[in-house]
Amino acid sequence: MTGRAERIVVAMGGGGFTMEPDNPLLDDHVLALARTARGSQRPRVCFLPTASGDSPVSIASFYEAFARRSEASHLALFERTLDDIGAFLLAQDVVYVGGGNTENMLAIWRIHGVDRALRAAWEAGVVMAGLSAGSLCWFETGTTDSFGGLAALSAGLGFIPGSHAPHYDGEANRRPVYQRLVRDGTIPAGHAADDGAALVFHGTVLVEVVASRPNARAYRVERDQAGRVSETELPTRYLG
């Protein structure tokens, strides 16, 4: 590769191997992006299961979904055995972050320096992807159920400016809570994604919305000067 590496984030509102084990369209798209961006026909994919407490079930599901079509690995932090996390993540083609408790995940990442290692890998062109907590973490803030009910995320990684709401159609209160937080200025404007929809960023620019379900959508949610919230549906490409 010449010049600056393309920085890619694939933020899935919900979906992928943990939510759609029989529908690999979003995960296939992540692998296709990695093959193009990284020039590897068998990408190296590292799963970060931190948000689920390094759940053995999540880890097993990841290997079942990815081991046959990639060089699959995972990074455990609750029983950490790896010394140089930075070098390990830089050697990947994809970092795939699972769902769970976003606030806990971010706190643990910062203790172990994973936040800094992820930024270095992203800037080097490693594709960043994930669902739910693994979608929200790339933004400055957004809506999280880390504390039980929905609330504003304290501080995401900030690779992508603005806010994010995953699972936008997944629960009845996801849409109204996100819009209220944007309306009252608790969080800035941003992007919401349904289950089955993924926001694809190159650098900090949204270049495409793709979906594994025909009716899954993503939205731009903003507050105008009069304090009203607008929700703009974004063009979405169904991968099926």
For strand 218-223 and strand 190-193, is the pairing parallel, antiparallel, or unpaired? antiparallel
Q: Which residue has the tokens 């706190």?
A: 107
Residue 230 bears catalytic tag: no
Q: What is the pLDDT of residue 3?
A: 56
Point out the catalytic residue in the list 61, 132, 135, 212. Answer: 132
How many Å is the Cα radius of gyration of the chain?
Answer: 17
Point out the catalytic residue in the list 29, 164, 167, 191. Answer: 167
Q: What is the pLDDT of residue 4?
A: 72
How far is Cα 230 from Cα 228, in angstroms, rounded to an integer?
Answer: 7
- Domains in the chain and their CATH numbers? 8-235 (3.40.50.880)
What are the average pLDDT values for consecutive 10-residue runs of the chain, which has 240 residues? 77 96 97 95 97 98 97 97 97 98 98 98 98 98 95 97 97 95 96 98 98 98 91 98
How far is Cα 167 from Cα 142, in angstroms, rounded to an integer?
Answer: 12
Phi-psi map region of 113: left, alpha, beta (phi>0 left; psi -120 to 50 alpha): left
Q: What is the pLDDT of residue 227?
A: 84
Identify which of 207, 117, 195, 196 has the alpha carbon closest to the alpha carbon of residue 160. Answer: 207
**What pTM was estimated for this model as a whole?**
0.95
Residue 167 bears catalytic tag: yes
Task: Report residue 111 as tokens.
Answer: 């203790």
Task: Report residue 173 as tokens.
Answer: 């209160």
Contact 93, 43 (CB under 8 A): yes
Contact 54, 105 (CB under 8 A): no
Question: What is 62-127 written as a DSSP string?
Answer: HHHHHTTTSEEEE--STT---S-HHHHHHT-SEEEE--S-HHHHHHHHHHHTHHHHHHHHHHTTPE
For strand 229-233 and strand 149-152, is the pairing parallel, antiparallel, or unpaired? unpaired
The amino acid at 222: E
CA distances from 107 to 92, 101, 112, 157 (A): 23, 10, 9, 11
Largest CA distance in the chain: 53
